[in-house]
Structures are given as C-alpha cells and as structure tokens.
Amino acid sequence: MKFSSAAILALAAVAVAQDSSTETTKTKTKTKDASTKTKTSSGSETAAAAAASSTGTTGSGSGSRKGNSTATTTTASGSKKTATTTQAEATASASGTAGTVTVNGADGLFGPGMGNVVTIAGLGIAFTLFINITWHDGLTRQERSQARGQKGYTIWFTGLSASGKSTVATALEQHLLHLGLAAYRLDGDNVRFGLNKDLGFSEKDRNENIRRIAEVAKLFADSSTVAITSFISPYRADRQLARELHAQTTQAGNDALDFIEVYVDIPIEVAEQRDPKGLYKKARAGEIKEFTGISAPYEAPLEPEITIRTHQNTVEECVAQIVEYLQGKGLLPAASQ
C-alpha cells in the first residue's frame, strides 16, 4: 500500500511522541518511591508524584527551519530530554499504560494554521488508520458489462423544485427497462426517508446529501446499471464533485464511468405556478427556510450534456431527447436501439 508523504510524516511524529511518552512513564515509575507524601487537614494523604509531559514547539533561530519542531521532556529530577521532529509537532501525555498522542500539523505538513489536526488514542489506532484499510480489486467493469450486456453510467437530473425532474426520470427509467436495460432511479425525496434521513436542508447538509448520492450512483454505475438521479442539487461545486467521483473510477484499467448531467431548465415563475406540493407558497410565507429559488440559491449548470424544458416539451419528447443522446454516445446496446 502506498502512503502519502503527509501520512508518513504524521505517523513518524506519532512514533516520536509515543517513545517520549514511554520514557516519561518509566521515569515516573522509578521516582514513585521518592515522591513526597503530605498529610491533609482531614487526615488523608496525597502523593505529589513527578509529572512528566512533553511539549513540541516550532524551532526558531538561525539553526532551525520552518516546519521543524522540538519536543522537550522534563523529568521529575529536573533533567531535560530533547527530541526534534520534522514537519510535525508532537505532544504526548502518559496516564498509566494508555497514552493519548496528538499530532499538530506544522505549516509544511498540513498548511498554515492547521494545528491540532489529528488526535490519535494510542499508536495502535494510528497504524489502523494508515495501514489496515486496503482497496480490494475484483471483477473488472468490462467483465461485468459483458456479462450483463450493457454499460453502467449515471444520468444526473438537476433543476428547481417542480421543474419535472422526477417525472421525466421515472419515464426514462421505465423506457430503459422496456429496452431490456437494468436501470434504477434515486429520488431526492425518497432517499431522505432512509439513507439521508439524518440530514436537513442547510448548505452543509445539502452538500453531504449530494456527496452520499454521488457515491451511491457511482456504485450502481460500476455494477453496470444505469443510475438515474433526480435531485435539485443546487450547487455547481457539489455536481462537479459527483462528476469527478465518476471520472476517478479507473482502477484496474477500467475506463472512467460516464456522467451525464441533465439540466431541467424552466423559469422559476413556471415552477411556482405548478407548485404541486405547496412548497413555494410556504417558502414565500416564511414557513420554509433556505428554500431553493426563494431563500437559497440555485446555480444553473454551465455546460450540461443535455438541457430539457418541460414547460415547452412533453415528457415523452424529453425522454426521446435523452435517449437520442445516449444512442449517439454508444451507451445503449445495439439490440435495444
């Protein structure tokens, strides 16, 4: 397994901090018998044991470089032990046999101001994070496609609420099934009853909503299924992320998965006139916060593969337009065309 330079440097810093923590624990054990006991007013005894800690500070002066750090350990006897690490600043505190190791990113490792980035409880967990996760190769996408007689790809519908995304997507799914293709539609409302039921409609939650669906659609497409998604997906950056996730699926010599963005382009006035769920009315009344097109933005695609206008064309005409595109790109088996 290949490690990034940042991962290797972070792991090295953890190892230095763990070693420092171990040495401090040994010192604490050796000096335990020499600790001073003091009688309290209630008659109880308190032991003032030697405290051991190691603190990393970024090196400075003519002999240091930006990104280096120095860890200094002060033992109970007052002596000091100094260890220098590169690109990371490590601090460790020992409590019995369990240590907590904090890797603080220096400028050269994680970027400016990114201190206290990673906290790892014990060196074993660090190894788990960096070593025990492995990508397992299996069948190639070509093998699955040949066995199923079709290619997998994602058709991503985006547009305002009430633009007709789900209506056209459902009709397209039905048409592809009639052609003998495996297709499945992921609907923006439906997934919030299960997979994404923990998400709201803030910008952060919308981002996570689209990220999860993009990953799921990618898995469907990788299985040689036509994944059809109908989501408002209002932000260009989120849709670009979905596209890039498909473009990065080139392991084991596979071609990248096709990602087809379908922009359902209608004026907001038309969407508001339709308003089948009464959502625009509620948004105008202030009952729904952060509603796309009213109190939250919709960023229209700049270069979608397909643009359909449901206020100008019928559902059947929109489906035919999409199928024509798929045929032109060789994404439909010859027998089904």
The C-alpha atoms of residue 67 and residue 235 are separated, in whole angstroms, by 36
DSSP state of 31: T
The C-alpha atoms of residue 85 and residue 57 are separated, in whole angstroms, by 10
Instruction: Find where tokens 């392991």 sit.
Output: 251
**Separation in Å, CA 200 to CA 108, 204, 279, 294, 296:** 37, 9, 15, 17, 14
How far from the centroid of its chain's Cα atoms is residue 52's Cα?
38
The C-alpha atoms of residue 123 and residue 21 are separated, in whole angstroms, by 11
Give which of 150, 142, 146, 141 is closest to 333, Cα–Cα. Answer: 150
Phi–psi pair at 279, nearest 5 degrees: -75, -40
Q: How far apart are the first and last CA of the chain?
A: 44
233 flagged as catalytic? yes
DSSP SS3 for 104 = strand
Give which of 181, 225, 161, 220 is closest to 337, Cα–Cα. Answer: 181
DSSP SS3 for 23 = helix
Single out the catalytic residue among 54, 166, 224, 233: 233
In 64-113, beta strands by DSSP E: 68-74, 80-86, 88-95, 98-105
**Separation in Å, CA 161 to CA 44, 55, 157, 278:** 70, 54, 12, 11
Instruction: Find where tokens 């003998």 sit.
Output: 180
| Angle formed by the axes of helices 315-328 and 165-178, nearest 10° | 60
Q: Which residues pair with 155 in a beta bridge?
A: 228, 260
The token pair that represents 151 in the structure block = 């290619």
Active-site residues: which are they? 233
